[in-house]
Structures are given as structure tokens and as C-alpha cells.
Amino acid sequence: MERAQKEELVSSLNELFKNTGVVVVAHYAGLTVAQMTELRQKVKEAGGEVKVAKNRLAKRALGGTEIAGIEDLFSGPTCIVSSDDPVAAPKIAVNFAKANENLVILGGAMGATMLDTNGVKSLAALPSLDELRGTMVGLLQAPAGKLAQIVGAPGGQLARVFGAYGNKDAA
């Protein structure tokens, strides 16, 4: 790799570290190309990305960012899983690691907060932003539905009473 390519990679990694919502660092030794492609595809569908870079270049890219504390995680064959959604990357990485024992979660960072393995797993257990939005919409719609049901209930009861009296006279 030429010097210009290295500088370009360091600057793109630096932008990634500065502008992403969450970063997960994992060892990927032993993963096949097909498994790595599957991981990349799953992360891309969720709006994130997977990058593999030399540890020395990744450490250089961490300089000047608020997540510089994860520098110690970069040893051995590491990959970087990132996304703007703070739950997407950890969820996909943890689920993929459960299915493939060769992917080992080392830790990560969310904003200025450094995460160990358990922190990444805790983030993965949270619902995604879309799930939370759906829950909020459901909670907002529920009172209106119940109010309409309560308002319509007395009229329905009166109709049943009148219907019963009408059927009584007809019988």
C-alpha cells in the first residue's frame, strides 16, 4: 500500500470514528470469505459498514477523536463494525458472533462512552430505533382508540336494550 493510499485510509477512518453513532471492534480470524461477506451484507442492510484496516493505521486514525480510548482493542486481526443507529451494529455483531464462534467481540464505543464486551452485548439487547418508534406510535394511538370505544359504548348498550324490547314484543 502506497503512502497516499494509507493517508486516505487514515482520513476516512478518522471521519468514520468522528461521525458514527457506535463502533464495535471484533477479532475475525478464522472467518471464511463467505461468512465475512454475509456479515458485511447484514450490516450494510442495517445502514452500517464493516471495515478491516491495519491496526497501526486504525490507531493513527483514532487520534483526535473522542473514542481514542479504544486504541488498546486493536491488536491481532480486527474488524470495525459501525453504524449511525446505536443499536444496529452491536445487535448484528453479537448475533453474528453467536452463530459464528470465530467472530469475537472485543469492545467498542458509543459517542464518548467506551464499551467492553458486556457493554456491546447490553446495547445489542436494546430495541432498535424503528422498534422504539413503533412502540411510541402504538402508545400514542391506544388512548384515542380507547376513548372512541368508551364514547361509543353507551349508544351501543341503548341499542341492545331497545332491540331486546323489540324482540320481546314480537315474541
**What is this structure's pTM?**
0.73
Q: HEC states along 30-65?
A: CCCHHHHHHHHHHHHHCCEEEEECCHHHHHHHHCCC
- pLDDT score at 85: 85
The DSSP symbol for 101 reads T
First to last CA, the chain: 95
Nearest Cα neighbor of 69 from 102, 106, 44 is 106
The three cell numbers of residue 94 are 453479537
Mean pLDDT of 59-84: 90
- pLDDT score at 105: 94
Tell me the residue type at 65: T
Mean pLDDT of 4-32: 91
Bridge partner list, 110: 22, 113
Say whether 169 sits in a helix, a strand or coil: helix
Rounded distance, CA 25 to CA 78, Å?
7
The three cell numbers of residue 117 are 464486551
